[in-house]
Amino acid sequence: MIFLSDCPIFFAVAIDLFFQSGCQTKMRWHSTPESIQQGKPSILAILETLTAIVVSLLIAYHINSVRYIAVGACIAPLLLLRTEKSSQLALYWSEKFFKLLFSTYFDIFNVKDTMSSKGIKKRIFILISLILHLILIISIFFIKIFTTTIIVIRYPLNTLNYFSFNWRQIVLCTDFYTIPELIPGLEIIDKERKSFFIYRFSILSEVVNIVVNDYRRKSSLRPVYAKILNIFTILFFLFPCYIYRWSLKSTSLIWSPLVWILREPPSGNLSFRLDQITKAAIYRASRYYSFFVIIIFSIKMYIWVAWQQIAETWQKIPGINTLNAYLVPQEIPLWHLCAVANALGAWLIYFMADWFLQKYRHEQLVPENLIEKVIHIHTTIARPLSFYTIACSLYITVNLGLRMKWPPLGAKLFPWQ
């Protein structure tokens, strides 16, 4: 049910943000590191997400499996659980490992003498350098997993607060104008830290130009070997990073309920808090999403009521077995009810905020304490309902895509009941 409402939400957000005026969050054509940090959506990012969703659905239809979506959804938490602390820790330990690995290696080889020499020693040096670079970058992947796990264990609540924010950054704010980072924060480190600076993907074009100019001038090729090594390393991992980003965008189908998990507006001025709920772009996005969820749920309820009359025709639809796992036409799954409860809650909190905001502006008395409690309760309830909805759709997708032969979820709270 959630899957069918994803594409309309991105179209709605794009149209709304493109035509809005006088709002704090304006639509950009493409992303920049600054716009991503500020949470500003871009047209290109939303188009990329739509393309990724369509491609993933076409692949699923062509191979008659949701395996591609299942794999992408399973690796998504590696990025969604990222926090400032985990990024800093990953960068720290990766740089430590880099220095340990290459300082030992350079102690064995005299780099200047080796690169100026000819023969087998130079070739061995280049080959070992290539292997060490590959070992380092593969190790970085495991370092990121380790540091993310450590931070999740130590600061679980803080990590969950970043979950929806990271998802919105990738899905709505990040496009191919923003180069991926081997380690979060690597692109903005100080250039004086030369040891790790060479792994910034943004210097790829600069390195290519240097190599080309070296060959054109037919100058000494001694520095070329190191540059070619860096080019190979960056190219070998740059494209997988883009593919990983696209796989995460395609899993918007699974993680889309994160749009309901919003931080409470800043405390203090109640008028400002209510204004944020009624006008802020992310709140509008959650309401658009909620609108389509309510429509899809209404269609599902019609199918449930009229099942006896349409069952025979329904079963003739191509690929209906996969759709039935999510829609469950003969029952009303609890995770469907959680989704529609969040959808209704998003609109109810909007109507409440708009109603009291008008009273506030006309200097009428409003129950401020009650309003703040309602906002807090809504935010608190939306989180478990959203995560339960995600967990159920993820369970179904993994069960179908990876053929795990787990018990079907159906209308049960948990599949093992």
Q: Which helix (H) or strand (E) holds 216?
A: helix 204-217
Same domain membership, residue 364 and residue 257: yes
Domain identity same for 396 and 290: yes
Residue in the block written with tokens 């820790």? 89
Q: Residue 42, SS3?
A: strand
Whether 396 maps to a domain, the answer reads yes
> Does residue 28 sit in helix, strand or coil?
strand
Residue 208 and residue 353 in one domain: no
Q: In whole angstroms, what is the distance from residue 307 CA to residue 301 CA?
A: 10
Residues 263, 334 within the same domain: yes
Q: What angle do CA 265, 269, 274 make, to 5 degrees?
A: 50
**Predicted local distance difference test score (pLDDT) of residue 19:** 42
Residue 199, both tokens: 């792994």
336 located within any domain:
yes
Residue 8 shares a structural domain with residue 99: no
Query: 242 and 273: one domain?
Result: no
**Domain end marker among 208, 231, 250:** 250
- Whether 220 and 271 share a structural domain: no
Residues 46, 91, single domain; the answer is no
Give CA angle at 173 (168, 174), nearest 5°: 110
Q: Which of 192, 226, 250 is the last residue of a domain?
A: 250
- Give a yes or no: residue 150 inside a domain: yes
Residue 7 domain flag? yes
Q: In this structure, are residues 378 and 345 in contact, taking their beta carbons and an 8 Å threshold?
A: yes
- Going 136 to 138 to 139 to 143, the CA torsion angle's sign is positive
123 and 61 in a common domain: no
Residue 337 lies in a domain: yes
Residue 266 has a pLDDT of 59
353 and 210 within one domain? no
In a domain, 13, yes or no: yes
Q: Which residues of the chain have pLDDT under 50?
A: 5, 14-15, 17-25, 218-222
Indicate whether 169 belongs to any domain: no
Residue 358 counted as domain residue? yes
- What pLDDT sits at residue 115? 56
Structure-token pair, residue 148: 């993310």
Looking at the structure, tell me whether residues 305 and 385 fall in a common domain. yes
The whole-number pLDDT of residue 343 equals: 94
Domain end residue (candidates: 218, 250, 282): 250
Do residues 16 and 127 both lie within one domain? no
- What's the total number of domains in the chain? 2
Return the pLDDT at 320.
81
Full residue range of the structural domain in which residue 132 is found: 84-154+179-250
